[in-house]
Amino acid sequence: MPHPLADRLASAPLLLDGAMGTMLYDAGVSLDDCFDALNLTRPELVASVHRQYIAAGADIIETNTFGANGYRLEPFGLQDKVRDINRRAVKIAREEREISGRPVLIAGSVGPTARTLASFGTADSAAVQDVYREQVEALLEGGVDLLSLETMGSLDEMTAAISAAREASDLPIIALLTFAEDGRTISGNTPEAVVDVLSQTGITVMGANCSVGPQRILPVLTSMRDRARAIGWDDLSLACMPNAGWPAHVGGRVIYRSSPEYFGAFARQAAEAGIQLVGGCCGTTPDHTRAMRSALNAWSTERAAFGTSNLEDSEPVEGAASSPPRRASTVELLAPEGPTEVAQKLGRQFLVSVEIDPPKGFNPAKALAGARLLKEAGVDAINVADSPMARVRMSAMTLCYLIQHQVGIETILHFTTRDRSLMGLQSELLGAHAVGIRNILALTGDPPSLGDYPDSSAVYDVDSVGLVRVLSRLNEGCDSAGASIGRMASFTIACAVDPIREDLLTEANRLRAKLAAGANVVMTQPIFDLAVWHRFLEIYGEPGINVPVLLGILPLQSSKHAEFLHNEVPGITLTDEARDRMRRAGADGRREGVRMAQDLLLEARPQVQGIYIMPSFGRYEVAAEVLEVLGKP
């Protein structure tokens, strides 16, 4: 399954964000301070910058980690904080993406080490590579979507950074060198020489950033494009992120002269030259990003109108030029009577479901795009989580409605008793049924103490067993007090089981209680070895589980990701073998995680009635890649 970056590059020019440092400086941060440390000391300030660039229309935002490597943190006494600073930076960016709801990609920013490599300098290439690897691993652990190796003045240092990145991951790499006025890198490399060297590294995007303004940097990109074509590098994508002109010191502050309007014209010129990623570097602000968004939208609209491209318009954002709206696919809401599609498939075919988390803000675009991708991959249903880890998110029920109405695929609503009284949860269930949301996973819910509002009051009038009983009573045509609701409901009732918990006998007894209360299907917590499920079945005993079972599968991303889940996330325990496999995989961690998930899927397929995939970091394409082993669709 191709990475989302590749798919989107094939559709339309993408807009990168602007200068993080400029925005922090304008907010009063001294140039003598460590900007990267703000991820720990002033995360709300870093978040506000991401928020502004997303609102301005950026498709890709870069983490505040440009100087977050061991060498550059050392003067501040922070060289032992590389992991903390980089992980926190990614978390800040991911949270702002979730709040926005837009399908923004997060690039881990990796800048130069400020050391000169031998033979001109004294820095050892292997040591520099180790420093880069440490930072890249931390960014991967945080969950970046791609890596941006930027502002490199030396081709040697760029290749060292790429080697380190490739040893740690197979994520897409954007390689951006910085060029002087003479059209050469700081170390004297021509654009053609850069192309010749980097063509052997397997990067996804190459380009230039910083140093000079738009008119000096565009010829560099033209030379790169021509050289790539000459050597047959036809799938190369180009990126261009110039400064806002030359800086000037005015009144004790650094000022850049190029206006947002000037950058709007530049963005259009870059798109016409075939440059697929456009953005800004030093001196650019959300105003520049907004102007470029407007220009790119207008260019795409004109291209589509004249039939010269199949480009899709970017999602409209505040301040951007309006473009023809996408037509949402619509489906008839399910009639309240009769079994759901999920119920009809259970036991008759191998059912595949994938989990999507609602956004932390108002915009569901990323979640809907993920649902469309998964539907195309042959998924049967979308699970929508209900504020997992007790963190505030959009109503899961609302997102279920949007997915069913706009995407045309049935959902399974995670429904917790944590936040609702007995009366309130029945009222919501009646509403869900009325709009066609009739597959319910009955959960107790994570306690508020785990989330952002630890002092929030939990309700817990009933637990998950009690909720199953409530749903069963609704299916019989009455509420929990025995009052008629006018007709029988037709909920498909799912319940959860954790075959990894220490006290398996207690878990088996709770599962028996849920099934006795009326659950129709069982969904497991993620497991990484089928022997774990077999051990639980032995404890459960005869006559066995007499309803369909969906086995939980969580594709791992890296060894760091595996260790984080195992040690820090409640309800997830990895086997020693799974952890060892991820450690041995090294840079091939994501692919190994997919292979492990596929191996488990194939082994489990004859023994369970379906699977329930939980992709991390919103990487729904990973779930689709796991399903390729089934030949779906």
**CA distance to 127, 148, 251, 285, 309, per residue, from 64 (Å):** 23, 12, 27, 15, 35
Spatial contact of 238 and 13, defined as CB atoms under 8 Å apart: no
State the amino acid at position 40 in one-letter form: L
Query: What are the beta bridge partners of residue 207?
Result: 176, 239
The neighbour count for residue 248, using CB atoms within 10 Å, is 11
Ranges of the chain with pLDDT below 50: 118-119, 249-250, 308-336
Q: What's the pLDDT score for residue 584?
A: 93
Paired strand residues for 382: 354, 411
Task: Render 56-81 in DSSP notation, one character per residue.
Answer: HT-SEEE-S-TT-SHHHHGGGT-GGG
pLDDT at 322: 35
- Identify whether the C-beta of residue 465 lies closer than 8 Å to the C-beta of residue 513: yes
**CA-only gyration radius of the chain, Å:** 26
Amino acid at 147: L
Determine contact, residues 394/361, Cβ cutoff 8 Å. Answer: yes
* Residue 437 to residue 413: CA distance in whole angstroms: 7
Cα torsion for 533, 537, 543, 548, to the nearest 10°?
-20
| Among 259, 260, 266, 263, CA closest to 221 | 266
pLDDT reported for residue 633: 60
Q: Is the dihedral of CA 530, 531, 532, 538 positive or negative?
A: positive
Burial (CB < 10 A; 0-12, 13-18, 19+), residue 369, is: middle
- With left for phi above 0 and alpha for psi between -120 and 50, is residue 415 left, alpha or beta? beta
- Report the DSSP pairing between strands 549-553 and 610-613: parallel
Instruction: Indicate the length of the chain as a whole number.
Output: 633
Name the strands in the sheet holding 205-209, side by side, starting at the edge strand that comes first in the sequence.
14-15, 277-278, 237-241, 205-209, 173-177, 146-152, 105-110, 60-62
The pair of structure tokens assigned to 492 is 């498909």
Residue 75 Cα distances to 79, 80, 122, 146, angstroms? 8, 12, 18, 28
Rounded CA separation 459/439 (Å): 23
Chain centroid to Cα 473, Å, comes to 39
Tell me the helix, strand and coil percentages in the chain, rounded to 5.
45, 15, 40
> Structural domains in the chain?
4-285 (3.20.20.330), 341-555+610-620 (3.20.20.220)
pLDDT at 449: 55
> Which residue from 456, 434, 436, 437 is spatially nearest to 445, judged by alpha carbons?
456
Type of residue at 390: A
